[in-house]
């Protein structure tokens, strides 16, 4: 495993020759050994087309490539950090929540609007979460950031999970998502409970939720 949680807000990564890491630019706190940090103009992997895709999708968080031999400490903005290990499955996470990930993972941008029809389109507008999300696939580990601690909620076929769109951090597994609304006409005239929109996740997998409704 490339990442080790030092405390709730810091991770230590081990870099070895021939292995690459990607991290959010400026997230390095300290390092030991011979390590080089190069700005990654293409914002990660995937070539020029992927870069354009990310620009258009507004999922273009500047990344840097970390190579060499040694250990690096990562942390950013005092946010909580959570390490998620992937073994062949796909993690969906907003690009600005990505702290660092192993180069063995394949990065791409997915359009989530198609999953929920019109409501999927509305989702981005309402929740402030993009219609596009970064996906990471393969074997390796990822460090994601959250405001407050993160907890995991399992999603099973008979037990879908609804999440406040602002508290949603990431999810993995074979999961469909759609924005559901609990809005009735009473809410329209100002009697809302403040829980009008919920992100509904069904299938089987895990969703990561933060203890806050604040965006990063």
Partner 1 sequence: MFRLQGSKVLAVDMTQDAVKAKNGSMVAYDGEMAFKKLSGGGEGIRGMVTRRITGEQMTVMEVRGQGTCWFADRASEITLVGLQGDKLYVESSNFLAADAGLRTGTSFTGTRGASQGNGLFTTTIEGHGQAAIMSDGPAVVLRVSAQYPLTVDPGAYVAHQGNLRQSFQSGVTFRTLFGEGGGEAFQIRFEGDGLVYVQPSERNTIAGDV
- Cα–Cα distance, 13 to 4 (Å, whole number): 6
**Three-state DSSP string of 61-77:** CCEEEEEEEEEEEECCC
Nearest distance in Å: CB 147, partner 1: 5
Work out the number of other CB atoms within 10 angstroms of the CB of residue 167.
20
CB of 2 to partner 1, least distance (A): 25
213 beta partners: none
Q: Shortest distance, CB of residue 149 to partner 1, whole angstroms?
A: 5
- Chain residues that interact with partner 1, rule: CB under 8 A: 80, 147-149, 151, 153, 159-164, 167, 182, 191-195, 207, 209-214
Q: Which is nearer to partner 1, 50 or 166 (CB)?
A: 166
CB-based burial label for 209 (10 Å; 0-12, 13-18, 19+):
buried
Six-digit token pair at 134?
């970064």
Question: What is the dihedral sign for C-alpha 131, 107, 40, 78?
Answer: positive
Considering the complex, what minimum distance in angstroms separates the CB of residue 127 from partner 1?
A: 13
Per the DSSP assignment, residues forming a β-bridge with 35 are: 68
Residue 127, classed as helix, strand or coil, is helix
Give 56 or 211: the residue with its C-beta nearer to partner 1. 211
**Cβ at position 190, least distance to partner 1 in Å:** 9
Q: Which is nearer to partner 1, 111 or 151 (CB)?
A: 151
Question: What is the spatial distance between Cα 179 and Cα 171, in angstroms, rounded to a whole number?
Answer: 15
- Write down the residue that tokens 């390590």 correspond to: 35
> Which of 76, 80 has the CB closer to partner 1?
80
In the numeric block, which tokens belong to residue 136?
């990471």
Distance from the Cα of residue 79 to its chain's centroid: 13
Q: What's the closest the beta carbon of residue 146 comes to partner 1, in angstroms?
A: 9
Output 62 or 149, the one with its CB closest to partner 1: 149
**Nearer to partner 1 by C-beta: 9 or 137?**
9
């Amino acid at each position: 495993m490339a990442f080790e949680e030092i405390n709730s807000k810091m991770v230590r990564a081990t870099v070895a020759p021939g292995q690459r890491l990607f991290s959010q630019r400026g997230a390095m706190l300290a390092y030991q050994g011979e390590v080089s940090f190069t700005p990654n103009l293409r914002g990660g992997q995937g070539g020029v087309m992927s870069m354009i895709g990310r620009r258009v999708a507004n999922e273009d968080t500047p990344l840097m490539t970390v190579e060499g031999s040694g250990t690096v400490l990562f942390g950013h903005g005092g946010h909580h950090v959570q390490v998620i290990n992937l073994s062949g499955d796909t993690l969906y996470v907003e690009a600005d929540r990505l702290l660092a990930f192993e180069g063995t993972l394949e990065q791409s941008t997915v359009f989530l609007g198609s999953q929920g029809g019109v409501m999927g389109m509305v989702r981005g507008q309402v929740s402030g979460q993009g219609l596009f999300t970064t996906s990471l696939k393969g074997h390796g580990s990822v460090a994601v950031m959250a405001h407050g601690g993160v907890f995991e909620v399992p999603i099973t076929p008979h037990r879908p999970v609804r999440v406040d769109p602002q508290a949603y951090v990431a999810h993995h597994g074979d999961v469909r998502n759609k924005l559901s609304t609990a809005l009735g006409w009473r809410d329209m005239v100002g009697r809302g409970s403040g829980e009008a929109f919920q992100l509904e996740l069904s299938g089987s997998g895990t969703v990561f939720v933060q203890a806050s409704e604040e965006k990063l």
